[in-house]
Structure 1
Amino acid sequence: MPENQHEDPFEDRFAAALRNTGHSFRSDDPAALVGRGEVRGRRKQLLRRTAVLGGMTGVALVGVGATLLLPSGGHDPRRTSAAAGPAATASSSAASPSPAETFTGDDMLRALKELLPRGTYSEEEAQGTGSAMPPNARLVFDDGQGAAALGLSVDRMDPGGEQAAQWTTCPDKKIVAYDDCTSATRPDGSRLMVLRGYEYPDRRVDTKWWNAELVTPDGVHVTLSEWNAPAQKDAPVSRPQPPLSVEQLEDVVTAEVWKRVAAAMPRSPEPSVTDEASPEGRPSGAIAKTLIGLLPENLKVTGRSGPGGEYAYLVVDDGKGGSLVQINVQPGMSDMAGMLFGDDAEELADGRLVTTRQSPGEKGAEGVVMWTVDTLRPDGLRVVVSAFNTPAQHQDATRDTPALTMEQLREIALSTMWDAGV
């Protein structure tokens, strides 16, 4: 991103880890890897969830530049007081944590279990505050009605920045399919979003994914996810709904213990960075504004995304029906060139790389096609534009082809307007 101009330790550490590992990653399906339409929004969502739930998926998602990750029965699941912390510091005040306080992986699991209803646990895994990754806990929980995967992670961000606003704002249904979502400011000034959606936008498997995102006035960011299956993917649905209600999700994610966890996180990591152009300074909402200015005159804009740092979408209509257009503008992507651009990529005289794809859209969406032009400047700026023959990519096609031709997408992606940082 960053969508703000403040230090974000989680983004720095996680991005560095992904970049360092990403050099050796290879995908069997590069088009699927880099051709996702929801360029940045879903990438952030998936990075967060894979950071909690583990696995190599998070590494793969670096290349998706197209679009962030886990038996003390008788406790009240609605409680919001501090859960069990480290044994050596259990008596310390949640309001004034000791600077020396640390949380191990076992502490994270213990704290999460203290906030859950009575049940049994399996497949427990966690990381504490001493890791390069954000502290997190994940387990399979069974309250007697079926096993369910749960995952929680804690990090920090600028509470007044665009990133915090995006995490706590309900997504546009043109991009993400879900049943219900609420976003509100709590009495203490925290922003809380609770979303009840699905693991697969096309609903090809009825795995439900419910998610709570909290950002406090002090910049503590807590993510809690649950499923109605014992694993995020590739596991049979084990119960009709995830185990925690909306109210229980809220109570777990707002527990005071997570503020203590955030206070114990290291403040000044040494991320691996390059000397390439920084994304800082790009005005909020500038991507969508620039994209509108580059559209052919015959297109009418009927819908658009809100403010965003690197990602934007429009719904356009040429008189033949709505067509979704999405763009991602990412600085610092030179080190991913080998993954994103194969031997068949075109190299222009000025060193810019260009690759094009015409592929099926979201699985389960009838007749949807996605046309993509992906470009990389010598200074590391990547601009990738996709267009669909539907106004919402997880819905069936409403027209034969996208409203923009491949040549028009190419002109947009290669426009010098992106080099100007607007």
Structure 2
Amino acid sequence: MGADAFEEEIGGALRRTGEGFVAEDGTALVERGVLSGRRRLRRRRAGAMGGSVAALAVVGLGASYVGGVFETATADVQGVAARPSASAEQSQQSQQNKQSKQSKKAHGKGAAVSRARVIGILEGLLPKGKFSGQEGRGTDQEAGPYAHLVYDDRHGKAAIGVSVGAVDPDGVTVAEQLKCPDKNFVPFDECRNEKLSDGSRLMLIRGYEYPDRRVDTKAWSAFLVTPEGYTVSANEWNAPAEKDAAITRPEPPLSLAQLKTLVTAKEWRPVMNAIGTAPDEPLAQPPAQGLDQASILKNLKALLPGRVKVTDEGGQDAEYAYVIVDDGKGATLVQINVQSNMKGVEDQLFGSGAEVRPDGTKVVTRKGDGDDKGGAGIVMWTADTIRPDGRRVVVSAFNSGAQNQDATRAEPGLSMEELTRIALSEKWASGK
């Protein structure tokens, strides 16, 4: 695997941005737009991140979740999201520029560490075995230091990678990165958080490369954040490459305890010193009225038909929430996005075929396959609406309790008429 590909794999969800719009129809189109709002939220929170920070996929991305323990920066994203409106983008950029000037990234206080040395540190910290396919970067490269290789302990070849970077240790971004993922979207066998004696925070996870488990490639990871904000992330697979490679062993070679030892090793300290600390993260903007998770869930549950029972719920801190409901015939995942200031993508998402209501609200409904990350037989029904003031509400339902699992019923438990009624409710227009 090339250096660029590996960097994309550990780039992470929190650094993705929408850089344009790809006009497509059907289910894919609505998912692009849904992602747009969640990306805007994450861009407001993310701030400047130094080095090659591996951002764990710790937030449920609903219908558009991208597979793997680490999300790809661009390669696996299902299309390109629409840009936010110009006014929102400019306001956001102004805030980031202002705070960036107040807190510049500190220069590294140590000597540069070469690519060869970064790779050598990884090799020296692994148990005895053979190495091949070594790739990496030193601290003098803008993208940041990392090492990647194929390790063979005579029990099967396995890919292992380590990245070193820096974040604001008190920022929202790192708090999100350290959260265990939602099992309704990201399958894993174990995930735990630890606080170490020196104040460092650590997340360890035994997960899978593909959310739908169509290939049983295991992906185990460790993510460390020191009190100063340095990060060391390591991930390993039970195959010589994370994707498109035959499984060569039942499990990755290192236990979670060994992964912990790997990322906490003192040998990474010179690499940290060479890259310097990250600037303070821009302050998070509070969600607009009615866009916080609690408000969205409250309204959504109040609008559900009486025949269904909510068995689980969750979401992100703003704009996105989900419930799992059961009508006695099997579980249905229902997810909703409530986004403001979406006029900038109205023409692309609501074309000539959209229904226009008397109050100017536009409505599009779609029935289609879940997507290429979904389980067998998954279908998604969606009602997509946008009001004249730019508030967009998208409600989708699946014929299973999780999109990455196989279908458990022929159709979702909510009809298209019910999904449309939920999306058009005055509860969203008022922001209450």
The alignment's TM-score, normalised by the length of structure 1, stands at 0.67
Judged with a 3 Å threshold, the aligned counterparts in structure 2 of structure 1 residues 346 and 24 are, in CA distance, closer, same or farther, namely closer
Report the equivalent of 2:222: 212
Secondary structure in 2 aligned to 1:373? strand
Report the equivalent of 1:321: 330
Report the equivalent of 1:50: 72
Report the equivalent of 1:31: 28
Report the equivalent of 2:89: none
Report the equivalent of 1:291: 300
1:198 positional shift: 1.8
Give a deviation string over 1:231-266, Cα, whole Å, max 9, x none.
Answer: 222121122221222112112223356566566257
Question: Percent same amino acid among aligned pairs?
Answer: 44
CA distance in 1, matches of 2:399, 2:324: 10
1:120 positional shift: 0.7
Judged with a 3 Å threshold, the aligned counterparts in structure 2 of structure 1 residues 357 and 134 are, in CA distance, closer, same or farther, namely farther
CA distance in 1, matches of 2:431, 2:114: 42
CA distance in 2, matches of 1:331, 1:147: 48
CA distance in 1, matches of 2:402, 2:13: 32
Question: Is 1:356 aligned to residue 369 of structure 2?
Answer: no
Give a deviation string over 1:346-383, Cα, whole Å, max 9, x none.
Answer: 27477766543322347684543222234556777654
CA distance in 2, matches of 1:224, 1:189: 19
1:319 positional shift: 3.7
Judged with a 3 Å threshold, the aligned counterparts in structure 2 of structure 1 residues 265 and 391 are, in CA distance, closer, same or farther, namely same
Secondary structure in 2 aligned to 1:148? strand
CA distance in 2, matches of 1:407, 1:373: 9
1:396 positional shift: 3.7
| Structure 1, 100-109 or 368-377: larger mean CA deviation | 100-109
More helix by share: 2
CA distance in 2, matches of 1:329, 1:254: 40
Alignment match of 2:254 (pick from 244, 255, 267): 244
Report the equivalent of 1:124: 135
Question: Is 1:63 aligned to residue 81 of structure 2?
Answer: yes
Question: Is 1:346 aligned to residue 354 of structure 2?
Answer: yes
Judged with a 3 Å threshold, the aligned counterparts in structure 2 of structure 1 residues 296 and 216 are, in CA distance, closer, same or farther, namely farther
1:310 positional shift: 3.9
Alignment match of 1:401 (pick from 398, 403, 411): 411
Q: What does 1:218-297 align with in structure 2 at a 5 Å threshold?
A: 218-256=228-266, 264=275, 267=278, 280=287, 283=292, 285-297=294-306
Contact between 1:135 and 1:153, CA under 8 Å: does it hold in 2? yes
Contact between 1:129 and 1:261, CA under 8 Å: does it hold in 2? no
Contact between 1:162 and 1:308, CA under 8 Å: does it hold in 2? no
Judged with a 3 Å threshold, the aligned counterparts in structure 2 of structure 1 residues 198 and 212 are, in CA distance, closer, same or farther, namely same
Report the equivalent of 2:182: 172
Number of residue-to-residue matches in the alignment: 368
1:314 positional shift: 1.1
Report the equivalent of 1:368: 378
Unaligned runs of 5+ in 2: 1-10, 36-59, 84-105
Secondary structure in 2 aligned to 1:398? coil
Contact between 1:126 and 1:136, CA under 8 Å: does it hold in 2? yes
Contact between 2:109 and 2:276, CA under 8 Å: does it hold in 1? no
1:112 positional shift: 3.2
Contact between 2:66 and 2:77, CA under 8 Å: does it hold in 1? no
Report the equivalent of 1:308: 317
Give a deviation string over 1:55-105, Cα, whole Å, max 9, x none.
Answer: x4155465399xxxxxxxxxxxxxxxxxxxxxxxxxxxxxx9954655565
Unaligned runs of 5+ in 1: 1-9, 66-95, 272-276
Contact between 2:187 and 2:211, CA under 8 Å: does it hold in 1? yes
The alignment's TM-score, normalised by the length of structure 2, stands at 0.66
1:41 positional shift: 9.7
